[in-house]
């Protein structure tokens, strides 16, 4: 969904830039690194957003391939231009630097501009008759409205658009949260649970925001735990980077001078890595970025590296550390075990999906018995998914074993009663394969209860009732 994610990405990037200019005193040196790539990347992004391949979701592969060559050339050209620009900047720095007071003024002006740009883009004060307050209010209403949709126009204008479907998803997450506020409905269940609360036929897997998604999936307990982890990380990062007060009020003053906090290369690099994680978190607050493996892995590596590093200025031990104490070994073992269990939990659904895909491939090749066995393996690998049972029912139907197919679909309904698709699949089997319209009409009502906006379930109900009348007329 590029039209929804682009404004959030731009906003998070601007906030990260403001934080960098506010915290790191090397503002004059930072300006070429910030401004020149922003101009170059902005030009390429504006071109990309003017093309359907980048601006329209679910475009065919042929459309994307048609602009791939041009996009690649633009990226290469951008890299070359930035290399030349960087060389020119470095050559200029060797000729001397401005006086200190001028550097400070330039830094203050840069910070002020960085703060003013998002405000102007967000409010469009120059084109608003209602002033700053009215313009901000209009944009907030667009952002949180359930009726606003993503902008349909292409181009860079969508980067400053506030309208989207986030407000609708946030409110749906709030209603799901109200169903079970303490512990939520379980990780990843927002996709199915929202169907009872949606007001149209829109489909989404995510609540487009970490907080609403966590509230819906894990409830107050999940938000409390993640907040505690965030605070622990912030405290650790502040200690490592030296961004906390030099004299902490809860520490005794022994008369020693506070440690130096020079902005050397190590400290600048650590603050940069910290801001990578911070910007990722800000973007995830208004979108579903943490579900995308690439940026999530980079943010985790950056945040984990900073948190695991020794604080700046801490003296290194003169001798290698002795054998760790039993308490440390137990704690380390617990962390390792938790990491292994989390990795296993992430891997199991992926493995089950591959086994299900392999079962479908075997069924297409005519090896139906082995295909059924693969679906059973997939169900054992991931017992929290209905897909293996649904795939097994389709394969059993193809093999002519209707009783086994019906049993698999009934198990899917019993094990996953909160998924509308299990009810729909069973009703479709009862109507289309078994020709039991009365049973199908009763079954599909479960799908309609779970997803009142489902056009497929409504149509199936009407077809079942029509077939029921046909059989009644033929028998009467």
Q: Which of 251, 230, 249, 246 is nearest to 311 (CA)?
A: 246
- Model confidence at 192, pLDDT cuts 50, 70, 90, reads confident
Report the distance separating Cα 399 and Cα 392, nearest Å. Answer: 10
* Residue among 179, 185, 184 nearest 419 (CA): 185
Tens-digit pLDDT profile for residues 384-400: 889 999 999 999 999 99
Please write the tens of the pLDDT for every residue from 284-317: 988 888 888 888 999 999 999 999 888 876 655 5
Better-predicted residue by pLDDT, 128 or 328? 328
- Is the pLDDT at 444 greater than 80? The verdict is yes
Judged against a pLDDT cut of 90, whether residue 273 lies above it is answered with yes
Q: What is the pLDDT of residues 17-56, one digit of tens each?
A: 888 888 888 877 888 888 889 899 888 988 988 888 887 7
Kindly state the DSSP code that residue 125 receives in the 8-state scheme.
G
Residue 147 has a pLDDT of: 57
Q: Is 221 left (phi over 0), alpha (psi -120 to 50) or beta?
A: alpha
Kindly report the CA angle at 353 between 350 and 357, in degrees rounded to 5? Answer: 140
Of 155 and 146, the one with more pLDDT: 146
Residue range(s) in the chain whose domain bears CATH number 1.25.40? 327-406
- What CA–CA distance (Å, rounded) separates 41 from 33? 12
Q: Residue 3's pLDDT is what?
A: 42
Show the tokens assigned to 137.
């209010």
- The mean pLDDT of the chain is 82
- Report the interhelical angle of 455-475 vs 420-432 (nearest 10°): 30
Torsion (CA) 204, 205, 206, 212 in degrees, nearest 10 = 90
Q: What pLDDT is stored for residue 249 in this prediction?
A: 56
Which position has the higher pLDDT, 202 or 352?
352
pLDDT score at 389 = 95
pLDDT at residue number 203? 81
User: Per-residue pLDDT averaged across 205-232, rounded?
Assistant: 92
Report how far residue 416's alpha carbon sits from residue 383's, in angstroms, rounded to the nearest whole number. 10
Residue 125: its pLDDT value, please? 44
- Tallying the residues shown for the chain, one arrives at 476
Across residues 260-264, what is the average pLDDT? 78
Q: In 143-199, which ranges are E strands?
A: none
DSSP character string of 122-145:
HH-GGG-SSHHHHHHHHHHHHHH-
pLDDT of residue 251: 57
pTM: 0.72
Residue 396 CA to residue 243 CA, distance in Å, equals 63
Q: Which CATH class is domain 327-406?
A: mainly alpha
Q: Residue 394, by phi and psi: left (phi above 0), alpha (psi -120 to 50) or beta?
A: alpha
- Residue 122 above 60 pLDDT? no
Position 153 confidence tier, pLDDT thresholds 50, 70, 90: very low
Separation CA 409–CA 390 (nearest Å): 6
Could you give the CA distance from residue 390 to residue 359 in angstroms, rounded to a whole number?
Answer: 12
pLDDT higher than threshold 80 for residue 145:
no
Question: For residue 84, what pLDDT is reported?
Answer: 92
DSSP letter at 51 equals S
Q: For residue 260, what is the enclosing H or E element?
A: none
Closest CA relative to residue 29, chosen from 106, 126, 125: 106
The per-residue pLDDT for 237 is 92
In the chain, the N- to C-terminal Cα span, in Å, equals 54
What CA–CA distance (Å, rounded) separates 436 from 155? Answer: 53
Count H helices and E strands in the chain, helices first.
18, 0
- Rounded Cα distance between 466 and 437, Å, is 8
pLDDT of 5 over the 60 cut: no
Lowest mean pLDDT among 31-45, 76-90, 121-135: 121-135
Give the mean model confidence (pLDDT) for residues 320-349. 83
- Residue 224, pLDDT score: 95
Token pair recorded at residue 267: 């400290």
Task: Give the number of C-alpha atoms closer than 13 A to the C-alpha of residue 246, restricted to the C-beta side.
Answer: 9
Position with higher pLDDT, 167 vs 225: 225
**Mapping DSSP to helix (H, G, I), strand (E, B) and coil, where does residue 46 land?**
helix
Q: Are 222 and 214 in contact (CB under 8 A)?
A: yes
Nearest alpha-carbon partner for 42 in 17, 69, 60: 17
Average pLDDT for 248-260: 60
Q: Which of 19-23, 127-131, 369-373 has the highest mean pLDDT?
A: 369-373
pLDDT at 425 over 80: yes
Which pLDDT belongs to residue 98?
67
At residue 4 the predicted structure's pLDDT band, cuts being 50, 70 and 90, is very low
């Amino acid at each position: 969904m590029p039209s929804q994610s682009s404004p959030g990405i731009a906003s998070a990037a601007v906030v990260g830039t403001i934080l960098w200019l506010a915290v790191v005193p090397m503002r004059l040196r930072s300006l070429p690194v910030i401004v020149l790539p922003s101009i170059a990347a902005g030009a390429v992004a504006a071109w990309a957003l003017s093309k359907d391949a980048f601006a329209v979701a679910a475009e065919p592969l042929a459309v994307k391939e048609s602009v791939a060559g041009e996009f690649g050339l633009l990226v290469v050209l951008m890299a070359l231009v930035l290399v030349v620009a960087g060389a020119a900047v470095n050559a200029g720095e060797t000729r001397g630097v401005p006086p200190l007071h001028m550097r400070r003024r330039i830094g203050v002006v840069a910070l002020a501009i960085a703060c003013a740009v998002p405000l102007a883009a967000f409010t469009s004060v120059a084109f608003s008759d209602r002033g700053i307050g009215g313009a901000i209010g209009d944009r907030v209403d667009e952002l949180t409205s359930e009726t606003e949709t993503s902008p349909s126009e292409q181009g860079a204008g969508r980067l400053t658009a506030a309208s989207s479907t986030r407000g609708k998803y946030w409110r749906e997450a709030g209603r799901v949260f109200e169903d079970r506020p303490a512990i939520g409905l379980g990780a990843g269940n927002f996709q199915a649970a929202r169907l009872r609360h949606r007001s149209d036929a829109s489909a989404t897997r995510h609540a487009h925001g970490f907080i609403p998604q966590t509230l819906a999936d894990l409830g107050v307990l999940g938000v409390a735990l993640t907040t505690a982890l965030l605070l622990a990380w912030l405290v650790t990062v502040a200690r490592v980077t030296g961004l906390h007060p030099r004299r902490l009020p809860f520490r005794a003053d022994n008369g020693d001078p506070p440690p130096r906090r020079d902005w050397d290369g190590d400290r600048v690099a650590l603050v940069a890595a910290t801001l990578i994680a911070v910007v990722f978190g800000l973007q995830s607050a208004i979108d579903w970025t943490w579900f995308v493996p690439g940026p999530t892995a980079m943010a985790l590596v950056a945040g984990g590296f900073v948190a695991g590093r020794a604080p700046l200025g801490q003296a290194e031990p003169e001798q290698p550390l002795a054998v760790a104490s039993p308490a440390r070994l137990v704690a380390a073992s617990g962390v390792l075990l938790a990491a292994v269990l989390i990795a296993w939990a992430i891997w199991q659904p992926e493995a089950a999906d591959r086994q299900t895909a392999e079962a479908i491939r075997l069924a297409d090749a005519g090896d139906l018995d082995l295909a059924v066995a693969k679906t059973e393996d997939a169900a054992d690998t991931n017992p929290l998914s209905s897909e293996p049972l649904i795939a097994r029912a389709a394969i059993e139907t193809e093999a002519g074993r209707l009783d086994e197919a019906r049993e698999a679909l009934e198990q899917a309904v019993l094990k996953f009663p909160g998924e509308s698709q299990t009810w729909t699949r069973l009703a479709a089997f009862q109507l289309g394969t078994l020709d039991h319209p009365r049973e199908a009409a009763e079954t599909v009502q479960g799908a309609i209860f779970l997803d009142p906006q489902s056009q497929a379930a409504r149509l199936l109900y009407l077809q079942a009732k029509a077939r029921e009348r046909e059989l009644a007329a033929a028998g009467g």
